[in-house]
Amino acid sequence: MNKIVNFLLLAGCIASASTSFALPEDYQKTIDIEADSAFIDNEKGNAIYIGNVNVSQGSILISADKLTITSSNSNKKYDKIYAKGTDKKVANFSQQLDIKGDMIISRGTKIFYDSTLSILEVEGAGYIKRGEDEITADFIRYDMTTGTFEAKRNQSGRVSMTLQPQSNATKAE
């Protein structure tokens, strides 16, 4: 069983060799947040938003029931985002990866995004789609810099991946 999971992860890494990086201008754009309520502690660099939370920053879109943002005191920019869904509505994260319009779309009961490390983690009925490639697992960790995935199943589930073949133009790059 572990050999199959390792093979799938290796296949995902190979398919990701020509990965694109997120749009750099996203992080220079204003963050817009809407929620039913908010608690902000500037001293600690934390903000908590609760109830029908929607976030946009450039091409980054996040929706959740609860969102916690932490920022480092050194630069006052957010470092980490924790999004939590409910039993009825999962949390969502999407971002345009490149100028061609390739997207990363994810959903799960919990989503963690570290903007300094470009790490996206999805937990609880996790799903990530990058371009036409898809992965479903209880826990998924995606390194946006290297294009590598790590996926773990839950006790009764399995990791599932759908990888599209590379075109000849992609192989030549």
For 44-79, the pLDDT digits (tens) are 889 999 999 999 988 899 999 999 999 876 666 778
Q: Specify the CATH number of the domain 2-164.
A: 2.60.450.10
Q: Span 14-29, mean pLDDT?
A: 53
Mean pLDDT of the chain: 81
Q: What is the pTM of this model?
A: 0.78
What are the CA-CA distances from residue 42 to residues 47, 48, 53 (Å)?
A: 8, 11, 20
CA distance 72 to 172: 41
